[in-house]
A and B are shown apart, each in its own frame.
Chain A
Amino acid sequence: MRRPLITASVIDPAKVLRSVHDNSAGGTAMFVGTIRNRSEGKPVTGLRYDVYKPMAEKKMLEIESQVKARWPVRKISMVHRYGDLKVGEVSVAVAVSCDHRAEAFEACRFAIDSIKRTVPLWKKEMSRGGKGKWVKGTPIDT
């Protein structure tokens, strides 16, 4: 069974990293997104993610295919979390293993940038005693 692309469970970056291990890869690049404690100078206690899950899973698979078509990738693994996350928790992890580091960095960068533009995910910044505020975002890309 393949690992989940969208999950409500805690993401373990070490597991994501292990999942792209390949003996022919000489370089692995990884991006880990975490919840930070401030936004535009104001304190944030956490983020609430909303997701259109079946569509998000489809878009994540499309991104994996695009990455594999553009770079000589040995393995790629991506996972994004949804639900209520506290400061410091991991919201997204992307790992790419390639023969060499240059393509690993490029492919990883493309994957996380694509997640932000094309996957139907939304986040609300939660603050102490507040109702929270949806992050402005960008119109979804096809």
Chain B
Amino acid sequence: MNVRVLYFASARELASKSAENLSLSEGASVGDLSKEVQRVHPPLKTLKNSMKFSVNLTVVDADTILKEGDEVGILPPVAGG
């Protein structure tokens, strides 16, 4: 299964890219994707305890199961205003 991963702010700099397609096994969760992005881009480990995830524009928990074509946002702590 393929998902579209978007990196923002410090995550984009640590991953050295703003987006990519990742291939995961069927039934993979957001937590599995978190491990995969840290494996592919080890500098992202510095955000391990603070990053959150969105799936198709909604913030989700790590146990959320991903589906083919999902858009996953890698969200460091936010600071608008």
* Residues 21-54 of A at the B interface (beta carbon under 8 Å): 33, 49-52, 54
Partner of B76, one of A55, A119, A122, A142: A122
Q: Give the distance in Å from the alpha carbon of A89 to the alpha carbon of B52 in the complex.
A: 29
Report the minimum CB–CB distance from B64 to chain A (whole Å): 12
Main secondary structure of the interface of B (DSSP, over half): mixed
Q: Jot down 7 A-B pairs with beta carbons below 8 A, ordered by A.
A: A115-B80, A121-B78, A122-B80, A134-B9, A134-B10, A137-B77, A138-B79
Partner of A122, one of B6, B8, B50, B58: B8
Main secondary structure of the interface of A (DSSP, over half): mixed
Supplied contacts A137-B76, A137-B77, A142-B59, 6 more A-B pairs, CB within 8 Å: A54-B57, A119-B78, A121-B80, A134-B9, A137-B78, A137-B79
- CB of B4 within 8 A of chain A? no
* Residues 9-46 of B at the A interface (beta carbon under 8 Å): 9-10, 12
Q: Give me the interface of A with B, judged by CB distance under 8 Å.
A: 33, 49-52, 54-55, 58, 80, 91-92, 112, 115-124, 134-142
Task: Say whether B79 contacts A122, CB under 8 Å.
Answer: yes
Total A-B Cβ pairs within 8 A: 76
- CB of B54 within 8 A of chain A? yes
Q: Give me the interface of B with A, judged by CB distance under 8 Å.
A: 6, 8-10, 12, 50, 52, 54, 57-59, 73, 75-81
Q: Give the distance in Å from the alpha carbon of A136 to the alpha carbon of B50 in the complex.
A: 10
Question: What residues of B have a CB within 8 angstroms of the CB of A138 in the complex?
Answer: 77-79
Residue of B nearest to A112 (CB): B81
